[in-house]
Amino acid sequence: MKQLMIPVIAGAMFSFAAGAASATTLEDVKAKGFLQCGVNTGLIGFAAPDDAGEWTGFDVDFCKAIAAAIFNDATKVKYTPLTAKDRFTALQSGEIDLLSRNTTWTMSRDTALGLAFGVVTYYDGQGFMVRKDAGITSALELSGAAVCVQTGTTTELNLADYFSRNNMELNPVVFEKVEEANAAYDANRCDAYTTDASGLYSTRLTLAAPDDHIILPEIISKEPLGPVVRQGDEEWFNIMKWVGFALLNAEELGVTQANVDEMMSSENQSVQRLLGKDGTFGEDIGLTTAWAADVLKAVGNYGEIFERNIGADSPLQIARGLNALWTKGGIQYAPPIR
Amino acid sequence: MAVGDMAPDRGVRGAARVSPLYDPKIRGIVFQVLLAIGVVAFFWWAIDNARENLERANIASGFDFLWSRAGFAISQSLIDYTPDDSYLRSFFVGLINTLLVGVIGVFLASIIGFIVGIARLSRNWLVAGIAGVYVETLRNIPVLLQLLFWYKAVLAVLPGPRQAVELPLGSNLSNRGLLLPWPDVEPGFGATVVALGVAIVAAIGISIWARRRLYATGQTFPAFWTGLGLIVFLPLLVFLASGSPLQLMYPELKGFNFVGGLHIQPEFVALLLGLSLYTATFIAEIVRAGILAVAKGQSEAAFALGMRQGPTLRLVIIPQAMRVIIPPLTNQYLNLIKNSSLAVAVGYPDLVSVFAGTVLNQTGQAVEAITITMLVYLAISVATSLFMNWFNRRVALVER
C-alpha cells in the first residue's frame, strides 16, 4: 500500500527583519498618533485613575506635557500601568515611549540598564511610616522590625544598607505590587512601611485609619525622581529634558496656564524665547515653534502641576521643600532657554 | 488510508521503480534534516537578534553580575544570607525556598488528596458530600485568588505580636507567623544520629529477613512493629545515656519581634495552604478514578480467598489502583511546583520573586535572569517526571 502524500513545505520562512524599526521615537510617536507612557499602577497624587477612570497625577501630567509639546493635544496619551519590577523591561523593549513613574535616577540605571535620565521632576528621599501606638520616634529604633517594601526599587537596597550601617536587624516582607505592600502593612503584618517620603504621604491616605500612622523624621537616601527614556535617541532625550526645563523656566518667569496668551506679548526676551516669539528652539528639538506655549496651556507650569496634584491644592499637602525653585530656597533649577 | 485501501495496490508492483521523491525513507530523512536546520537557524537567529538589540540599547549582558554584591535582604532563608552576599547566593536562597514549598506542598497535597478521594467514595453521605463540595469549589477557583484569600484570611484572623496567642510548649501564633521552640544542638548529639542510622539499617534488615522467612516457611513476623520500636527506642536510649545533649530554644518577644526558635512565616503558610488545597482537589479526583478503575470482582475474589478487609485493600485494590493513579499524579505535582511561582503575590521569597524579580530589576539583565529561571523550573520538572516514571515502572502491572 502506498500512501499518497503531497509534499507540503510547512512554514519556516526565515525572512525576519533583523532588528527593530530604524525610525526615531519621535517619528514613531507621530506616526501612531499618541504617546505610550509608563506610569505607576496606583499612587495617589502621582499616577492613579480618578473617579471617572481618567489617569491623573504629577507623573501623568508630565506624560500630558510631552503629548502637548508634540501634538498640541494633551489627551493623545495612552497609559501603561507598570509595577516597579516591570518598568525598565517595558521601556527597554520599546513597549512604552516614555517612563514617568516616580523613578530614581541612579548611575547603574543611567548606564548599564541602557536608560537615559535628564531632568529631576521631584527631589525625594526614603522614609518610614509606623503606627503611632508602636511608640517610636526615630528610624533608629526599628531594629528587628518587619518592614513592608516593594520589590525592584532602590528602596529595597537603601533599606538593607541603612539597617546594616546601623547594626539593626531587618525582616523585610517584599511584595511586587504597591497595593499588596500597602494592604499587608495595613493588616499589621509589618511594623513599618518604607518608600520615598512622597509615596508615604500618598500611601497614608489609602490606609483604613490614616491618623493612626506617623512618618518618621529620618530621610535615609537621596531619591531624585524623573522621567526616563531609552539611550541612543538624542532627539527624543532632548524633548524629554527640555519639556521638563520649560516647565521650570515658565514658573520662574511667571508664565502660568492662565496667562500664556497675555505673556505672548511680553517684553521680556526670556519669555519670548520660551513661548516661541524669538528663535527656533522648538524646531531645533523636532517640535513646533509654539511647543512650550502648548505645554503650558495644557498642564500649566511646574509649580501649578505640583500644587494641583501633590501640593497645597491636593489632599497630600506636601510642602515644596527641596522642590521649590532655586530662587525661593529650593534646588529646582533649569538651564536657560537661549 | 481509505483511498489507499480502495485503489489498486500499485505499491507492490512498482516497488523497484519508485522515484526517490516518493521513497518514504528518503523523504523522512530529508524532512528531518530540514526541520533540524530550521530549528537551529531559528534559535541562532533569535539569539543573534537578542544580542544585537541588547548591544544597540547599551544594555550590559553576560553572567558576570552573578558574582556582584546583591545588596538586598531576604525575609526567609534556609542558608546563611546577608545583603553582602552575591547575586548567586540570593539565587540559591530563592531556589531552596521554591524547593521547600514544592516538596512540602507535594506531600501535603498527596495526603489531603488521598484522604478526600477515598472520602468521596464513602458510603457515609455526609463525608462523601463534604468531600464533594470541597473538590467542586476549590478546583474551580483560580489558584492566585486562593493564595490571596489565604494570605488575607491568615493576616486578618491573627493578632499582632504583642497579643500573640500562646500555645503549649512555649510556641505562639500571631500575624508574624507561627513560632515554635527549636532544638539547639550541643556536642555529643552525633551519637544519637549514629544510633538512628543503625536502627534504620537494622529495621530494613529485619523486614527483608521476615519477608524471606514468609516466602520460605509461610510464618509471619511483626517486622513493622519491631522496626518501629528499634527506630524509636535505640536513639532515645543513646540520647539519654549521652546526657540529653539538646537544648530547646524558646521564642521570646524582643523589641518588635520574636527572637529564637523556629519561625514559620505567614507568607509561607498562605502559599503552602493555597497550593496544597488547590492541587489536592485534582489529586482527590485522580484517586477516586483510580479506585473505581479496579473491577469489583477483584475484591470479591480476595474475600473469597479468605482475606480480610485491610489486607484486601493493601494488597489487592491499592496496587492495582496505583498504576492508574500515578501517571496523572505526576502532572499534578508538576503543576504544584510551577504554580509556586505565584509566591510573589503573597510576599514569599521564592525563586521567581528573588531572582526573576529583584535581581532582574537591580541588574537589568532580563534575558539572563529569565533564562536561568526557566532552566531551573525545567530541571525541577524533568527531575520530578523522571522520578515518577521510575516509580510508575515499579508499580505498573507486569503483563506477559
pLDDT of residue A85: 83
In terms of C-beta density within 10 A (0-12 exposed, 13-18 middle, 19 or more buried), how is residue B130 classed? middle
Contact in structure between A195 and A152 (CB atoms under 8 Å): no
Per-residue confidence band for A328, with pLDDT thresholds at 50, 70 and 90: very high
Task: Tell me, yes or no, whether A73 and A52 share the same domain.
Answer: yes
Provide the pLDDT confidence category of residue A32 given band limits of 50, 70 and 90: very high
Q: What is the DSSP string of B276-335?
A: HHHHHHHHHHHHHHHHHTS-HHHHHHHHHTT--HHHIIIIIIHHHHHHHHHHHHHHHHHH
- Same-domain pairing of A166 and A117: no
Given a contact cutoff of 8 angstroms between Cβ atoms, the answer to whether A124 and A158 are in contact is no
Most confident of A166-175, A282-291, B316-325: A282-291
- B5's grid cell: 485501501
Alpha-carbon gap: A81 to the closest alpha carbon of chain B (Å): 17
Rounded CA separation A166/B188 (Å): 38
A271 within domain boundaries? yes
Q: Are residues A134 and A270 in the same domain?
A: no
Q: What is the arithmetic mean of pLDDT over A32-57? A: 93
Return the C-alpha cell found at B141.
477557583
Cell of B382: 524533568
Assess B64–A contact: CB distance below 8 Å, yes or no: no
Longest dimension (CA), chain A: 97
Count CB atoms within 10 A of the CB of residue B116. Answer: 24
Say if residue A202 is in the same domain as residue A232.
no
CA gap A164, B255 in Å, rounded: 17
> Tell me, what's the pLDDT at B1?
43
The pLDDT value given to residue A120:
96
Amino acid at the residue B355: F
B177 and chain A: CB distance < 8 Å anywhere?
A: no
Q: Residue B231's CB: how many other CB atoms inside 10 A?
A: 17
- Cα–Cα distances (Å) from B122 to B96, B129, B277, B288, in that order, read 39, 9, 20, 10
Neighbours of B203 (CB within 10 A): 19
| B328 neighbors B248 (Cβ within 8 angstroms) | no
Using the predicted structure, report yes or no on whether residue A11 has a pLDDT greater than 60: no
Cβ–Cβ gap B49/A156 under 8 Å: no
Mean pLDDT of chain B: 85
Q: What's the CA gap between B377 and B369, in Å, rounded?
A: 13
- Asked whether B254 and B83 are in contact (CB, 8 A), the reply is no
Residue in this structure with the C-alpha cell 537591580, named with its chain if needed: B362
A191 to chain B, any CB pair closer than 8 A? The answer is yes
Q: Which of A202, A222, A242 is the last residue of a domain?
A: A222
Q: Under a CB-based contact definition with an 8 Å cutoff, are residues B332 and B281 in contact?
A: no
CB B303 within 8 A of CB B216: no
Predicted pLDDT of residue A7: 31
Residue B160: name the closest of A127, A129, A145 by CA. A145
Interfacial A residues in 231-290 facing B (CB < 8 Å) = 231-232
pLDDT above 70 covers what percent of chain A? 93
Position B2 scores a pLDDT of 45
B174: cell is 500571631
Do A116 and A235 have their domain in common? yes
Question: Crossing angle, helix A25-32 and helix A234-253, to 10 degrees?
Answer: 80
How far is the first Cα of chain B from the last one, in angstroms, to the nearest whole number?
A: 32
Q: Is A19 on the interface with B (CB under 8 A)?
A: yes
What pLDDT, on a 0 to 100 scale, did the predictor assign at position A22? 55
Whether B17 has its CB under 8 Å from any CB of chain A: the answer is no
Domain contains A328: no
CA dist B219 → A195, B209, B224, B288 (Å): 73, 12, 15, 35
Q: How confident is the model at residue A14 (pLDDT cuts 50, 70, 90)?
A: very low
Residues 6+ apart with CB under 8 A from A121: A58, A59, A62, A225, A226, A227, A244, A302
Residues A248 and A111 in one domain: yes
Tell whether A217 is covered by a domain.
yes
Residue A12 pLDDT > 80: no
Instruction: Determine the distance in angstroms separating the CA of B298 from the nearest CA of chain A, rounded to an integer.
Output: 45
**CA–CA dist B88, B67 (Å, integer):** 6
User: C-alpha B326: how far from its chain's center?
Assistant: 14
User: What is the chain A residue with the closest CA to B2?
Assistant: A3
Condensed to tens digits (0 to 9), the pLDDT of residues A105-133 reads: 999 899 888 899 999 999 999 999 999 98
CB contact under 8 A, B83 and A161: yes
Helices (H), chain B: 2-6, 10-13, 24-56, 87-120, 125-138, 143-157, 190-217, 223-241, 266-292, 296-304, 309-311, 318-339, 351-353, 360-363, 366-395
Residue A135 pLDDT: 86
A170 and A95 belong to one structural domain:
no
Chain B contact set for A191 (CB, 8 A): 256-257
Identify which of A92, A174, A183 has the shortest CB distance to residue B75. A174
With contact defined as beta carbons under 8 Å apart, do A293 and A260 qualify? Answer: yes
Total number of domains in chain A: 2
CA distance A79 to B193: 61
The three grid cell numbers given for residue A328, joined into one nine-digit string: 525661593
Residue spans per domain, chain B? 55-140+265-399
pLDDT in tens, B297-345: 998 999 999 988 888 888 888 888 988 899 899 999 999 999 999 998 8
Distance between CA atoms of A32 and A67, rounded to whole angstroms? 12
To the nearest whole Å, the CA of A143 is away from the closest chain B CA by: 7
Answer yes or no: is A146 within a domain.
yes
Phi/psi of residue A273, each to 5°? -65, -40
Cα A6 from Cα B359, distance rounded (Å):
51
**Looking at per-residue confidence, does B180 or A73 come out higher?**
A73
| Cell numbers linked to A183 | 494592604
Which of A168, A201, A222 is at the close of a domain?
A222
pLDDT at position B65 is 87
Spelled out in words, what is the top-level CATH class assigned to the domain B55-140+265-399? mainly alpha
- Give the mean model confidence (pLDDT) for residues A59-81: 95
pLDDT at A95 over 70: yes
CB-CB neighbors (< 8 A) of A180 in chain B: 345-347
Question: Measured between alpha carbons, how far is A210 from A85 in angstroms, rounded to an integer?
Answer: 27
**Structural element, H or E, at residue B165:** strand B165-166
Residues A188, A255 within the same domain: no
**Helix/strand/coil for A80:** strand
- List pLDDT tens digits, range B225-246: 888 888 888 888 888 887 777 7
Residues A114 and A150 occupy one common structural domain? no
Residue A167 within a domain: yes
Residues A145-165: b if buried by 16+ CB within 10 A, e if exposed: bbbbbbbbbbbbbbbbbbbbe
Mutation target for B interface from A8, A101, A113, A162: give the one with most B CBs within 10 A: A113
- Give contacts of B21 with chain A, Cβ < 8 Å: 7
Residue B347 has its nearest CB partner, among A19, A114, A174, at A174
Place of cell 520616634: A137
- Partner-chain contact B83 A173, CB within 8 Å: no
Nearest to A113 among B11, B59, B266 (CB): B59
Of B10, B345, B366, the CB nearest to A180: B345
Element of type H or E holding A98 = strand A98-104
Q: Would you write out chain B's pLDDT as a tens digit for each of its 400 residues?
A: 444 444 445 545 555 667 878 888 888 899 999 999 999 999 999 888 888 877 777 777 788 889 988 888 888 888 888 888 999 999 999 999 999 999 999 999 999 999 999 899 888 999 999 999 999 999 999 999 999 999 888 777 888 777 777 777 777 788 888 888 777 777 777 888 888 899 899 989 988 998 888 888 888 788 888 888 888 888 888 888 877 777 777 777 766 767 777 788 888 989 999 999 999 999 999 999 999 999 889 989 999 999 888 888 888 888 889 888 998 999 999 999 999 999 988 889 999 989 988 898 888 888 889 999 999 999 999 999 999 989 888 877 666 5
Do the domain assignments include residue A17? no
Which CATH number belongs to the domain containing residue A163 in this structure?
3.40.190.10
Interface size between A and B, measured as CB pairs under 8 A: 158
Q: Which whole number is the average pLDDT over A236-263?
A: 95
Specify whether A267 is located in the same domain as A215: no
Contact B155 A189 (CB under 8 A): yes
Chain B interface test: which of A174, A178, A228, A231 (most B C-beta within 10 Å):
A174
Test the A interface: residue of B69, B361, B365, B368 with most A CBs within 10 Å: B361
pLDDT of residue B52: 82
Cβ B73–A170 below 8 Å, yes or no?
Answer: yes
Strands A192-196 and A146-150: parallel
Domain boundary among A222, A248, A271: A222
Confirm whether A336 is domain-assigned.
no
What are the DSSP calls for A192-247, one per residue? EEEEEHHHHHHHHHHSSSGGGEEE-S---S-EEEEEEEETT-HHHHHHHHHHHHHH
CA distance A64 to chain B (A): 26
Q: What is the span of the domain harbouring residue A116? A: 25-121+226-323
User: Chain B contact for A10, CB < 8 A?
Assistant: no
Residue B284, CA distances (Å) to B4, B112, B290 in order: 47, 8, 10
Asked if A226 and A119 count as a contact pair (C-beta separation under 8 A), the reply is: yes
| Closest residue, chain A, to B160 (C-alpha) | A188
Rounded Cα distance between A292 and A66, Å, is 10
Q: Is residue A108 part of a domain?
A: yes
Q: Which amino acid is at A230?
A: R
